[in-house]
Structure 1
Amino acid sequence: MKLTRQKHHWLIIVFLLLGHLTYGQTQRTITGTVVNSSTSQAMPGVTVSVKGAAAGAVTNNNGEFTIKTSRSLPLTLVFTYIGFSTQEVTVTDTSAAVNIQLSSTEILGQEVVVSASRTAQSILESPVSIEKLDNRAIKATPAPTFYDALANMKGIELSTQSLTFKSVNTRGFNSNGNTRMLQLIDGMDNQAPGLNFSVGNIVGITELDMDNVEVLPGAASALYGPNALNGIVLLNSKSPFQYQGLSAIVKSGILSDDGRSKGTTGYYDVAVRYAKAFNDKFAFKINLGYIKADDWQAYDDRDQSLLNGYDLKTGNRINPGYNGVNTYGDETNVNMYGALKPAALTPGNPLGNGIAALSAATGGAITPEQIYKAFMPDSARSFVSRTGYNERDLADYDTKNLKVNAALHYRFHSNLELLAQGSYGTGTTVYTGADRYSIKNFRMGQYKIELRADNFYVRAYTTQERSGDSYAVGTLGAGINEAWSPSASQWFPEYFGNYATQGLTAFSTVFQQSLQSGQTPAQAFAAATAAAQGGSTQFHSAAREFADRGRLIPGTPQFDEAAGKVKNKPIPGDVATGIGAKFTDKTNLYQGEFMYNFKNQISFMDLMIGGNYRVYALNSDKTIFAVDDNGDEFRINEYGGYVQAGKKLLNDNLKLSAALRYDKNENFEGQFSPRLSAVYTFLKTHNIRTSFQTGFRIPHCQDQYIDLLTPQARLLGGLPFLRERYGLNGPNVFSLESIQAGNPQPYTFREFKPEKVEAFEIGYKSLVAGKLFIDAYVYTNTFKNFNGSQVLVKVTQTGQEVYSIPVNYQNDLKSWGWALGLDYRLPANFTVGGNVSYNKLRNEDELGSFQAMYNTPRFRYNLNVGNRNIAQSNFGFNISWRWQEAFVWSSSFVGPLVRVNNLGEIPAYGALDAQVSKLFPKPKVTIKIGAANLTGNKYIQSWGNPTVGTQAYASVGYNL
């Protein structure tokens, strides 16, 4: 041990001596300023580097820079800034200041991206598909926020669940709260740990601090690990060294949709950023953002029950079994025919006595069962549901979002930086899952410390989720109903009794009148049956009115009191003690990771390694997740590592790369994720790429450990111990499908495995004549062990128990698609462009009853035209049109939605977005006016979600 320590001591001394020798060489200091050629304003954040050396600097808030280098004269300085022409200057004398003017230009294909290979490279030479939105594009976007602007990218779609909660998806299998897309904010996984999906930008980066967004469509697990199955979104904030000073923006506008409680309401968005750097060593920044609005509302009242012979196209509130898409509490239903039959055929109660008396009057020629069938709808048409409440009466639409971010940076020298960063977000919004969830007073924090250079980083971070006062809206509706009038003991008996009384009275009256008029019993029976069946609609209406007498009315103190009790009781509760709707989750995530690039040690090839260790600490106050034998909720441990190698051949025209990653979750076998890619460059700006890679998704925390009793079923995780705990491995457990088919078959479990995808892609990128940027690709995906839910029925001596459990689909799912993007630079810096994408599930006809939930339109396209600075007037504009075709959405939203006859169709829609802006250079003020969905063509993007109307806004920004 002593010898080892001595070796370490000698190594430290050697490094210190080498460092001393290095810094002891002759240092030359070069100073200067950079200004905008069109405005003469200082340009902070310009990168100034010494060509062929590691030395460099970034201009400060006054456009000034200082570089210290040991390189001999003459040397070349390179000045780069996004949206401006790169300029090189030869320096022969360090005593004279270097003063530079940079000219603005439209850039096409010149962006530098990092996410594709975890190292900086030209977007033209990326080995996989990638989309980028830089801060210049963010300022010019016609969307209300940069997150909304993602929908204009090629092959990318959004699912809007509320104003501030949107899910990103690519290449099919879209969902609300998408667990197959990974989102990183400054390298930190932005998922809510207990839910395992990104919460949009509720806890993230403000518009002022957003530097750029990179999106990789398709599998990305080889470098980014679990959950990057469908793609990855990387959001990167601004460095306080590059972007200094005070910035602020005030944005206000309206949300307009005539289907809302109040058609037009205001919204407000404010952000402030301050950053300061001291002596190129220490810098800090602080950000504050706040949004407030009356949210979009979900008010689809179509009948999704599929009961009594109705469907979405024909059902309405006349259906006794009505279950509106966005009405809640009406999911609870009972088959009246089966529920009343025992009493109807057994004397000793009013109904049974009445039927028996009628039968006796015919001398037994007409049996009690015949009479019962005569005045009751048959069993297939006698479902009755509770009266529900509209979502607007249950959800909290008072949307608020507060974001606070702070970071401290310290540079040991120009290529080694230590930073500590914290982000905190809180607010109220609405999210769609199997239910609609009112995410009220939600809180989440992300905190990290990181040491980084241009060839490595080491970081540790934690994500802390607190669900606050969140509750399930659908469960709340059912809970209010039960609190007022329990279904089993009061409401349904009153409804059924009233209906039976009316039906039997009508039947009896006509039957006796017919007999008295001389008709035969058979003729009288036929007339009475017709009268009873003809009055069915009226009987249902009167029975519901009777059972609903005294029903709690939204807005009354009695309603608010009942709702408050349900909201504050943890989910699920039960009918006996009161249903609970409160969603409790305090799960934390902890992660440590590193990356090292051997570029300074190896020159003949690129070599990189990296790894991570992750822990989920589940905590739902024992309401959502299962507990172990000691009564404690579980911790989940994961780790992974990767290596990537690359080599340029054929005079650097061919770049080959290979990556291999291994990940292990304690509950599943380890997963290998390889990626092979090749990029061939010809004629300097034309690039053909091809890649093969695999991606995987470890079942998320709920798929592993959920143990939650709901009114419809008990939701269980897929781990073996939970099956054993509830006795689901026995011969008395059947699939719901087999029971519905009339042939119950015992269900046999298979091993529960992570999902996997094998992805192959060919793409082409080019910049033609410096004006036309082309980006195209075609891909195929093969998914294995696809994760879906299986409903099981366990038959016991006392009845039936229903379970819903995640399982893997036995066969492969295959999809393919393509996309094409074109952008053209016109004279005077006008630009025009567009993109189109196509996605298709190839073996959809082979799925049978399995719901793949592909949930993606085949065709989507975007068109745009704009100019950031018309004729150097500092006026700019941008107009975009986005369109997608209709498609079928499969979901478990408030009960299973059956895919029959295009049920669950999301209609096609097109939306026009536009904005104009004006920069006033001297006061550094930018005014922007715009609107999303300017034509008011309201739309929904996924099942159960709100209707989106027009969002108009005006903003005033300082020092953007």
Structure 2
Amino acid sequence: MPKKLRALLLLLVSCVYSFSLFAQSISIKGSVKSAASGETIPAVSVTVKGTSTGVYTSDKGEFSLTVPSLPVTLVVSSIGFETKEVTVTSASASVDVTLATASSLGQEIVVSATRVATRILESPVSIERVSATTIQNAPVASYYDVITNFKGVDVLASSLTFKTPTTRGFLGSGNVRFNQIVDGMDNQAPGLNFSVGGIIGLSELDVDNMELLPGASSALYGPGGMNGTLLINSKNPFKYQGLSFQVKQGIMHTDNRFRDLSGYTNWTLRWAQKVTDRFAFKITSEIIQAKDWVAADYRNYDKATGLPKGGDRVTDAAYNGINVYGDEIARDIRPIINNFAAIPGYAAIIATLPATMPVSRTGYTEKELIDPNTVNFKLGGSLNYKINSNTEAILSGYWGTGNTVYTGSDRYSLQDLKMGQAKFEINSKNWLVRAYTTQENSGNSYNLTATTSYFNELWKPTQVWLPEYIAAYMNGRVSGGLNDQQAHIAARAFADRNRPAAGSAQFNQQFNFIKGVPIGKPTAGAPLGGGRFLDKTDLYAAEGQYNLSDVTKGFADVLVGANYKRYVLNSQGTLFADSTGPIGINEFGAFLQIAKELFKEKVRLTVSGRYDKNQNFAGRFTPRATALIRLSPNNNLRLSYQTAYRFPSTQMQWINLFVGNDYQLIGGVPAFRSFYNLNGSPVYAIQNDVVTTNKVTVVDLKPESVTSFEAGYKGLIANKLLIDVYGYYGQYQDFLTRRLVFQTATNRKFSIPYNTENKVKSFGYGISLDYRLPANFLVGVNFASDELTDVPAGFQAGFNTPKYKTNVKVSNTGFGARKAYAFSIVYKWMSSYRFESDFINGEVPQINTLDAQVSYKLPSNKYIFKLGGSNILNQYYVQAPGNPAIGALYYVSIGYNIY
């Protein structure tokens, strides 16, 4: 080819290429405003109709995108506003769009119900959704409390920052029957075995939405989702941009009843930036500081019944206060007193004494032992890269640390707890893959009972304290002319002379020493060990999902997925039986879901099944079938059959802990039967703190399971009234619980896990009504009931749920000039209920609370001021015996660029 011709062709190609680049770089710029207030609207979706090209408006409500040619039609949409289409014929003028407000009742999109996007009105199972706007308007100190406003939800507060939710029963601190998933990651602390909720994870300003699935949900989310799954999703930095902060200051303990008046601080910061059309990042942080609520239940605890009983430290020498520690073990002094019978004058007194005379050491209250300063610091962030218009890669991480209190078989001070999660994920239109890890460090956490008991031994061993007590008691009875009660009081005062006062230099030095000594690790000065547990357990996980619907179009929508988890238990022998090295536990699972429209799309049938295997237990298959029946537009009936189960937790499998109540808490894997010779050397059941003649055969554990049937209706009437009603019936099998046994050969007590043989049934119902009035007013009420039946006599199921509960809400999202004012008022009531746990049993009185908040937006739409409070009438309530009394928390806040 001649040189000139080649040059000419090269020039032509260059021109064509240049023109193509020019054609692809037509830039459209504009803004989006609210028609009602005239304010700009951030995070609005602006897409080119018929394509996947699109952007979100910035924090200033502005957008910019490139198109290959004009004219184009832009689709502008956002929840709470009517979708609008705008045709653009020229790039020279700014495209300014105004959106009219629209009712959002029932229009939210949810993912968790079927793992694919579905309008909430067409969810085939019960589901609740919390948006960022809902969080902004809710009268709560923490976003985690918003779910308490939904029907059928119970939340147990072990402390200010440690809260555990559940649905349809079985409320407990650290609920192992309820999954919590944050940005696709299991939120459980892998060693402690329960989700730590708001302690790590998302800060309030970074929460995009929360989706709550009540009841059985294992078929899609794996083991653990027996009583619900909560998914919390963060804000994407491509959509939510700019600098945001919120400063919330409050006051607590306003009546000085349990603590002196003190402050509450919650500061949150988020910065997100779209650097290019392909790359964006975010950084988030939050700090909470306050003086925690106090567990101050000083009723006498009866170990024989597990219930409170009469008496106090003055009237009962064996007093065991519920929130008093170090007084748990009582010793009978009567056999020793019999040795005094030969002393002149003693025999006559001894003859009048009761047959048994238990005496306990003097304890300390929780208020005296635990640092009241609750601190929680969270840090997070992500790097987001768009590989193409349909595929995004995300590298993210969350880390948290702080102090809190948890109720398990005892009260635990989680001090300097640290936990982090890191994730790499690639998600596309039809598929996703992710891998993540959870790293746990218990810091300086300790068991209150063990620590205080060993502190008493450090100060004065019982073999010294008890003889002093007995001698003083007998001297008071014989020489002092004291009656029995007076003699006990005098004896305790003598044996406790020079006892370190809580908060004194001597107390602090000795108590801090004991709580720093690991459990089961004797050392100089602490021959029995201390109260600290060392837990650095990790979790490694990977999962993938593929939507085959494009391939199976015309037949059905098909979704498949699989996951793998590996737990690495590492407590150095203080919590698990891992003194010789870390213990690994592997799990894997896979699921298949098929959905098909029938009868001209009047019915949508979805069938799914999941198989999971834990290396220590047989595999489990969990099926689910749902049907959505479209009665009319926006009116749907739902029917579902669901199953769920849970493998015994890592603690149920491998725990090996002396809990300070004179028994050993052990796991249920076969290794324990061999190590403690539980079958070779017989063990006998303990009932009401008495060893019986009933021999116990220790057998292999099985997963616990539930089968649930549900029917429900959700409908939107006249675009104003949203109705949601459901009823369910469930049957539980192979309950995982614990029982005390006694081994005669070793004279030791063990708490062993086992499955019950009886099936128990649960049933309940709920209804919610939300009515949108003119001028942005909304009135809502919900009611729910849950019951458990066929519970065998003497069996402790731990249902722990009020039979009836209701919430009433009145709110307005914008009124007055510029719609700048908003308010929300929520009243909650629940009936009394019985609470059962390894810690303490008892009745919980009915609870009434009133929460309220009012807010005001400045004209710039950048700043928002709030004044509010939870339990504003300051009616203290306790959600479980031995847990803290929760009073009022009042707050004011200023937020910038919150949306």
TM-score category, normalised to shorter length: over 0.9
Q: Matches of residues 418-457 of structure 1 in structure 2 within 5 Å?
A: 418-457=393-432
Q: Distance in 2 between matches of 1:246 and 1:743?
A: 66
Amino acid at match of 1:408: L
Superposition deviation, residue 682 in structure 1: 1.6
Q: Matches of residues 196-207 of structure 1 in structure 2 within 5 Å?
A: 196-207=193-204
Query: Which of the two has higher C-alpha Rg?
Result: 1
Measured against aligned partners, the alpha-carbon deviations of 1:332-361 in whole angstroms (never above 9, x if no partner) come to 211223x426x53xxxxxx14227x877xx
Superposition deviation, residue 63 in structure 1: 2.9
The match for 1:884 among 813, 830, 844 is 830
Q: Distance in 2 between matches of 1:590 and 1:24?
A: 45
Q: Distance in 2 between matches of 1:739 and 1:260?
A: 35
2:479 equivalent to 1:554? no
Change (3 A) 1:97 1:455: farther
Superposition deviation, residue 486 in structure 1: 1.3
Q: Distance in 1 between matches of 2:193 and 2:55?
A: 39
Aligned position for 1:571: 519
Q: Distance in 2 between matches of 1:311 and 1:52?
A: 68
Give the TM-score taking structure 2 as reference length. 0.93
Change (3 A) 1:85 1:30: farther
Q: Distance in 2 between matches of 1:211 and 1:400?
A: 24
Aligned position for 1:87: 84
Q: Distance in 1 between matches of 2:376 and 2:688?
A: 47
Amino acid at match of 1:174: L
Change (3 A) 1:653 1:53: farther
Aligned position for 1:340: 336
Q: Distance in 2 between matches of 1:231 and 1:25?
A: 53
Q: Matches of residues 414-813 of structure 1 in structure 2 within 5 Å?
A: 414-487=389-462, 489-503=463-477, 535-573=483-521, 577-604=527-554, 605-627=556-578, 631-711=580-660, 712-730=662-680, 732-737=682-687, 740=690, 743-796=692-745, 800-813=747-760
Superposition deviation, residue 135 in structure 1: 0.4
Change (3 A) 1:647 1:75: farther
Aligned residues of 2:673 and 2:698 also touching (Cα < 8 A): no
Change (3 A) 1:310 1:170: closer
Q: Distance in 2 between matches of 1:260 and 1:469?
A: 29
Q: Matches of residues 29-44 of structure 1 in structure 2 within 5 Å?
A: 31=28, 32-44=30-42
Aligned residues of 1:757 and 1:783 also touching (Cα < 8 A): yes
Amino acid at match of 2:558: L
Q: Distance in 1 between matches of 2:589 and 2:21?
A: 41
Superposition deviation, residue 878 in structure 1: 0.5
Measured against aligned partners, the alpha-carbon deviations of 1:573-624 in whole angstroms (never above 9, x if no partner) come to 5697044011210001000111111133222221101111110011112221
Give the TM-score taking structure 1 as reference length. 0.87
Q: Distance in 2 between matches of 1:457 and 1:403?
A: 27
Q: CA RMSD in A?
A: 2.5
2:266 equivalent to 1:269? yes
2:366 equivalent to 1:391? yes
Amino acid at match of 2:429: D
Amino acid at match of 2:653: Q
* SS in structure 1 at match of 2:409: coil
* SS in structure 2 at match of 1:854: coil
Percent of pairs with identical residues? 42
More displaced 10-residue stretch of structure 1: 125-134 or 257-266:
257-266
Superposition deviation, residue 649 in structure 1: 1.5
Q: Distance in 2 between matches of 1:309 and 1:620?
A: 29
Change (3 A) 1:309 1:284: closer
Aligned position for 2:880: 942
Q: Distance in 2 between matches of 1:161 and 1:247?
A: 31
Q: Distance in 1 between matches of 2:621 and 2:551?
A: 27
* SS in structure 2 at match of 1:607: strand
Aligned position for 1:354: 343
Q: Matches of residues 24-63 of structure 1 in structure 2 within 5 Å?
A: 31=28, 32-63=30-61
Unaligned runs of 5+ in 2: 1-16
Q: How many residues align?
A: 874
Q: Distance in 1 between matches of 2:799 and 2:819?
A: 47
Aligned residues of 2:520 and 2:573 also touching (Cα < 8 A): no
Amino acid at match of 1:119: V
The match for 2:191 among 190, 194, 204 is 194
Amino acid at match of 1:136: T
Amino acid at match of 1:265: S
Q: Distance in 1 between matches of 2:526 and 2:135?
A: 54
Superposition deviation, residue 731 in structure 1: 5.2
Measured against aligned partners, the alpha-carbon deviations of 1:31-75 in whole angstroms (never above 9, x if no partner) come to 3432222343332211123455444332233433355668x9886
Q: Matches of residues 926-941 of structure 1 in structure 2 within 5 Å?
A: 926-941=864-879
Aligned residues of 1:375 and 1:504 also touching (Cα < 8 A): no
Q: Distance in 2 between matches of 1:63 and 1:935?
A: 40
Q: Distance in 2 between matches of 1:236 and 1:317?
A: 53
Aligned residues of 2:725 and 2:766 also touching (Cα < 8 A): yes
Aligned residues of 1:161 and 1:176 also touching (Cα < 8 A): yes
Measured against aligned partners, the alpha-carbon deviations of 1:803-833 in whole angstroms (never above 9, x if no partner) come to 0011111111211111111100011110000
Change (3 A) 1:240 1:785: same
Aligned residues of 1:396 and 1:429 also touching (Cα < 8 A): no
Unaligned runs of 5+ in 1: 1-19, 345-350, 360-370, 510-531
Amino acid at match of 1:618: L
Superposition deviation, residue 163 in structure 1: 1.1
Aligned position for 1:516: none
Aligned residues of 1:410 and 1:418 also touching (Cα < 8 A): yes
Q: Distance in 2 between matches of 1:818 and 1:50?
A: 44
Aligned residues of 1:421 and 1:448 also touching (Cα < 8 A): yes
More displaced 10-residue stretch of structure 1: 657-666 or 326-335:
326-335
Measured against aligned partners, the alpha-carbon deviations of 1:640-695 in whole angstroms (never above 9, x if no partner) come to 01011101112222110011100000000001011100010122011110111111
Q: Distance in 2 between matches of 1:63 and 1:766?
A: 33
Aligned position for 1:376: 353
Measured against aligned partners, the alpha-carbon deviations of 1:495-535 in whole angstroms (never above 9, x if no partner) come to 233324444568xx9xxxxxxxxxxxxxxxxxxxxxx9xx2
Superposition deviation, residue 76 in structure 1: 4.9
2:252 equivalent to 1:303? no
Aligned position for 1:514: none
Amino acid at match of 1:808: N
Amino acid at match of 1:915: Q
The match for 1:118 among 115, 126, 138 is 115
Aligned residues of 1:272 and 1:288 also touching (Cα < 8 A): yes
* SS in structure 1 at match of 2:489: helix
Change (3 A) 1:397 1:576: closer
2:763 equivalent to 1:816? yes
Aligned position for 1:951: 889
Superposition deviation, residue 834 in structure 1: 1.1
* SS in structure 1 at match of 2:549: helix
Structure with the larger helix share: 1
The match for 1:920 among 847, 851, 858 is 858
Q: Distance in 2 between matches of 1:190 and 1:147?
A: 13
2:796 equivalent to 1:851? yes
Superposition deviation, residue 28 in structure 1: 9.1
Superposition deviation, residue 571 in structure 1: 1.3
Q: Distance in 2 between matches of 1:747 and 1:697?
A: 24
Amino acid at match of 1:627: D
Aligned position for 1:167: 164
Amino acid at match of 1:334: R
Aligned position for 1:868: 813
Superposition deviation, residue 710 in structure 1: 3.2
Measured against aligned partners, the alpha-carbon deviations of 1:283-317 in whole angstroms (never above 9, x if no partner) come to 00001111111111111111123679994355564
Superposition deviation, residue 923 in structure 1: 5.9
